[in-house]
């Protein structure tokens, strides 16, 4: 095998951003279709029809579904069976996200937090957000890309409860957060929930939760049961698509968990909008790239 | 739920017939405005160079490109409205705007102005920018170009919608109604979830 050319990672990072924005994953499409079929309120049915039309038009015209191209997040899994150069991967993803923005071209939302000057490249200090994890018994690099729009990201919540508050405080917090968010995160989306860990880990868990295919349950039956209960509770509010009233207020609740400190009891909520955008690539040491969702 | 297909400019009568929950499509002129457009108008006192009387305004920051000196849309979507709430009453009262199009709704003072002067808030399906962009036939004018992408845009649209009447000119607010219903159900939902 020759020397690996990291241009391949750059190209994949670029393609992933564009794919995520234009081509919704099949599980999301199916979830919207199921929601549309289940919905009984006439105005809500009309809203679902428009969502399905938007997906079709984006397919046909190879264009963006939503104008908010968000901030780029790349979740990496680095296989242990090949000597990957992490620093090189980081630089190439930065370049790839930038090239997607200026070459497609689409709007950059990345802004200096103080001067509010837009970098015009979707990247900047601290961006793209990178999550790095490792994979045993694999030689490939997996890249999962999620563009995070502001309507949903702005509705994120986190609270450090105490052990005495129990698990019920966390469940109530999730429901109350979703009600407070109302129409802003373009419901019905995926409600990502983190439980346990530390302040930073719990939000990361919530983010990892929105990256799961719609409705794929947590393997722990107790957590899966809680997902279903929260889903039913949120749908029972009747808030509906775009908060205009209806039977379907969320596509799914996903919960990810971690061990926490004996005196901590944290919870975080991170919502993903109905166009729950994501794209995945596997990059192999021989230069092959497989795209998926 | 009634369905309407309207034509701009909207008459007061056409707007007064709309009730929350109705579905609207329309043809004609649509103005695009954003935070900065309205800061420029109201806080920095610039008169719009075109009449907005009877017209709909949408909360947007469009992606456009210039091809041979003419603006064409790349992607036009809708942003969350509440940030621009304070500009809405003067937009309706001073300039005769008859419809605000956005997502998420506006507050009490805007609703009052709608009731008093005959205007509505039409909720678009957020995130469905590909559909919205397809319904734009032409970017007719970009006023205050130096503010782009938050300038004042004049679009010509066809079958623009579906738009749900979310705040009508009779003081009804669909968002408040939906929220009130959710609140009424909440004790029961808490109970079922075991968190009461
Ligand atoms: S909340 Fe999501 S779907 Fe809605 S406009 Fe923002 S990015 Fe798009």
- Determine the Cα–Cα distance for residues B47 and B40; give it in Å rounded to an integer: 9
Chain A closest-CA separation from residue B58 CA (Å): 14
CA dihedral A127, A79, A284, A128 (to 10 degrees): 0
Query: CB pairs below 8 Å between A and B: how many?
Result: 155
Q: Measured in angstroms, how far is the CA atom of residue B130 from the centroid of ligand 1?
A: 12
Q: Measured in angstroms, how far is the CA atom of residue A25 from the centroid of ligand 1?
A: 16
Pocket residue to mutate for ligand 1, from A275, A276, A277, A278, most atoms within 8 A of Cβ: A275
B150 phi/psi in degrees, rounded to 5? -120, 40
CA distances from B81 to A151, A256, B2, B172 (A): 11, 32, 24, 17
Where helices occur in B85-173 by DSSP H, the ranges are 88-95, 108-117, 129-134
- Determine the Cα–Cα distance for residues A2 and A8; give it in Å rounded to an integer: 14
Query: Helix/strand/coil (H, E, C) string of B24-48?
Result: EEEEEEEEEECHHHHHHHHHCCCCC
CA distances from B100 to A70, B105, B172 (A): 25, 9, 15
Q: Measured in angstroms, how far is the CA atom of residue A67 from the centroid of ligand 1?
A: 8
- Work out the angle at residue B177's Cα, subtended by the Cα atoms of residues B173 and B181, and round it to the nearest 5 degrees: 170
pLDDT tens digit sequence for B167-181:
999 999 999 999 999
- Residue (of A148, A222, A236) closest to A192 by Cα position: A148
Q: Are A36 and A28 in contact (CB under 8 A)?
A: no
B62 phi/psi in degrees, rounded to 5? -70, 150
Residue listed under structure tokens 């200026």: A102
Q: What is the mean pLDDT of residues B24-28?
A: 98
pLDDT tens digit sequence for B75-108:
999 999 999 999 999 999 999 999 999 999 999 9
- Determine the Cα–Cα distance for residues A177 and A124; give it in Å rounded to an integer: 30
Task: Read off the CATH number of the domain in which B87 is found.
Answer: 3.20.130.10
Pocket residue to mutate for ligand 1, from A106, A152, A189, most atoms within 8 A of Cβ: A152
- Determine the Cα–Cα distance for residues B188 and B196; give it in Å rounded to an integer: 8
- Determine the Cα–Cα distance for residues B178 and A44; give it in Å rounded to an integer: 12
Q: Measured in angstroms, how far is the CA atom of residue A273 from the centroid of ligand 1?
A: 6
- Determine the Cα–Cα distance for residues A134 and A155; give it in Å rounded to an integer: 30
Which percentage of chain A shows pLDDT scores above 70?
Answer: 99
- Residue (of A194, A165, A293) closest to A253 by Cα position: A194
Residue listed under structure tokens 């009600």: A179
Q: What is the mean pLDDT of residues A256-273?
A: 98
Pocket residue to mutate for ligand 1, from B126, B130, B131, B132, most atoms within 8 A of Cβ: B126
- Determine the Cα–Cα distance for residues B62 and A134; give it in Å rounded to an integer: 40
pLDDT at A6 exceeding the cut of 90: yes
Q: How many Cβ atoms are within 10 Å of A3's Cβ, its own excluded? A: 5
Residue listed under structure tokens 């490939």: A140
Nearest ligand 1 atom, CA A275 = 3
H or E element in which residue A108 lies: none
Chain B closest-CA separation from residue A268 CA (Å): 17
Q: In B, residues 49-88, which contact A (CB 8 Å cutoff)?
A: 60-63, 65, 74-77, 79-80
Verify whether ligand 1 is closer than 6 Å to residue B127 (CB atom). Answer: yes
CB contact under 8 A, A53 and B131: yes
H or E element in which residue A239 lies: none
Q: Measured in angstroms, how far is the CA atom of residue B127 from the centroid of ligand 1?
A: 5
Out of B182, B186, B194, whose CB is closest to A168?
B194
B53 phi/psi in degrees, rounded to 5? -60, 125
Out of A58, A233, A245, whose CB is closest to B130?
A58
Partners of B195 on chain A (C-beta within 8 Å) are 168-169, 171-172, 175
A27 phi/psi in degrees, rounded to 5? -65, -35
Structure tokens at A172: 């109530």
Per-residue burial over A215-234, b = 16 or more CB atoms within 10 Å of its CB, e = otherwise: bebbeeeebeebbebbbebb
- Determine the Cα–Cα distance for residues A37 and A90; give it in Å rounded to an integer: 43
Pairing status of strand B99-102 against strand B70-75: unpaired
Range of the domain at B118: 3-193
Which percentage of chain B shows pLDDT scores above 70?
Answer: 100
pLDDT at A2 exceeding the cut of 90: no
pLDDT at A1 exceeding the cut of 60: no
Pairing status of strand B23-33 against strand B152-167: antiparallel
Q: Inter-axis angle of helices A221-236 and B174-193, to 10 degrees?
A: 150
Q: Report the sign of the C-alpha dihedral through residues A242, A57, A216, A283, in that order.
A: negative
> Which residue out of A169, A183, A189, A277 would a mutagenesis test of the B interface target, given it has the greatest number of B Cβ atoms within 10 Å?
A183
**How many domains in chain B?**
1
pLDDT tens digit sequence for A113-170:
999 899 999 999 999 999 999 999 999 999 999 999 999 999 999 999 999 999 999 9
- Determine the Cα–Cα distance for residues A165 and B106; give it in Å rounded to an integer: 35
Strand order from edge to edge, sheet including A265-272: A157-161, A265-272, A189-195, A250-257
Confidence class of residue A46 from pLDDT cuts 50, 70 and 90? very high
Can you give the C-alpha Rg of chain B in angstroms? 18
What pLDDT sits at residue A116? 87
Out of A51, A182, A239, whose CB is closest to B125?
A51
pLDDT, averaged across chain B: 97
Verify whether ligand 1 is closer than 6 Å to residue A241 (CB atom). Answer: no
Q: Inter-axis angle of helices A166-181 and B174-193, to 10 degrees?
A: 170
Ligand 1, atom 6: closest residue by C-alpha = A151
Confidence class of residue B40 from pLDDT cuts 50, 70 and 90? very high
Out of B131, B162, B179, whose CB is closest to A57?
B131
- Determine the Cα–Cα distance for residues A281 and A74; give it in Å rounded to an integer: 11
pLDDT, averaged across chain A: 97
pLDDT tens digit sequence for B123-168:
999 999 999 999 999 999 999 999 999 999 999 999 999 999 999 9
pLDDT at A206 exceeding the cut of 60: yes
Residue B130, chain A, CB below 8 Å: the answer is: yes
Verify whether ligand 1 is closer than 6 Å to residue B187 (CB atom). Answer: no
pLDDT at A12 exceeding the cut of 90: yes
CA atoms within 13 A on the CB side of A244: 33
Partners of B177 on chain A (C-beta within 8 Å) are 245
Longest dimension (CA), chain B: 64
Longest dimension (CA), chain A: 60
């Amino acid at each position: 095998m020759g020397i690996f050319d990291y241009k391949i990672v750059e190209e994949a990072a670029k393609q992933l951003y564009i794919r995520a924005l234009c081509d919704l994953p099949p599980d999301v499409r199916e979830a919207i279709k199921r929601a549309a079929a289940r919905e009984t309120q006439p105005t809500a049915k009309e809203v679902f029809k428009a969502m399905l039309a938007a997906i079709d038009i984006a397919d046909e015209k190879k264009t963006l579904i939503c104008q908010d191209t968000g901030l780029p997040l790349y979740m990496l899994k680095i296989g242990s069976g090949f000597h990957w150069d992490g620093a090189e991967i980081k630089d190439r993803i930065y370049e790839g996200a930038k090239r997607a923005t200026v070459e497609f071209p689409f709007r950059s939302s990345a802004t200096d937090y103080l001067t509010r000057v837009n970098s015009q490249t979707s990247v900047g200090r601290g961006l793209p957000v990178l999550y790095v994890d490792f994979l045993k018994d694999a030689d490939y690099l997996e890249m999962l890309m999620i563009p995070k729009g502001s309507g949903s990201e702005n509705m994120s919540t986190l609270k450090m409860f105490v052990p005495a508050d129990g698990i019920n405080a966390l469940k109530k917090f999730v429901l109350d957060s979703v009600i407070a968010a109302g129409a802003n995160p373009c419901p019905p989306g995926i409600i990502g929930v983190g439980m346990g860990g530390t302040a930073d880990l719990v939000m990361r868990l919530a983010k990892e939760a929105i990256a799961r295919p719609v409705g794929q349950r947590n393997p722990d039956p107790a957590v899966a049961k809680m997902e279903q209960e929260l889903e039913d509770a949120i749908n029972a509010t009747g808030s509906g698509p775009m908060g205009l009233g209806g039977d379907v207020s969320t596509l799914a609740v996903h919960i990810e968990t971690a061990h926490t400190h004996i005196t901590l009891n944290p919870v975080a909520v991170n919502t993903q909008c109905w166009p729950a955008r994501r794209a995945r690539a596997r990059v192999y040491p021989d230069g092959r790239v497989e795209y998926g969702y | 739920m009634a369905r309407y297909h309207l034509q701009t400019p909207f008459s007061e009568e056409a707007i007064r017939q709309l009730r929350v929950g109705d579905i609207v499509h329309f043809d004609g002129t649509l103005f695009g405005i954003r935070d900065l457009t309205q800061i420029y108008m109201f806080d920095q006192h610039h008169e719009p160079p075109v009449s907005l009387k009877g017209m709909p305004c949408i909360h947007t920051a469009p992606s456009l490109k210039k091809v041979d000196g003419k603006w064409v849309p790349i992607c036009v979507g809708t942003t969350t409205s509440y940030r621009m709430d304070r500009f809405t009453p003067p937009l309706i009262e001073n300039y005769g705007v008859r419809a605000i199009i956005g997502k998420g709704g506006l507050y009490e003072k805007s609703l009052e102005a709608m009731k008093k002067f005959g205007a509505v808030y039409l909720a678009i399906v957020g995130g469905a920018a590909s559909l919205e962009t397809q319904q734009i036939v032409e970017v007719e004018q970009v006023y205050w170009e130096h503010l782009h992408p938050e300038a004042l845009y004049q679009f010509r649209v066809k079958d623009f919608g579906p738009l749900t009447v979310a705040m009508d000119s009779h003081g009804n607010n669909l968002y408040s109604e939906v929220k009130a219903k959710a609140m009424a159900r909440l004790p029961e939902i808490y109970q079922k979830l075991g968190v009461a």
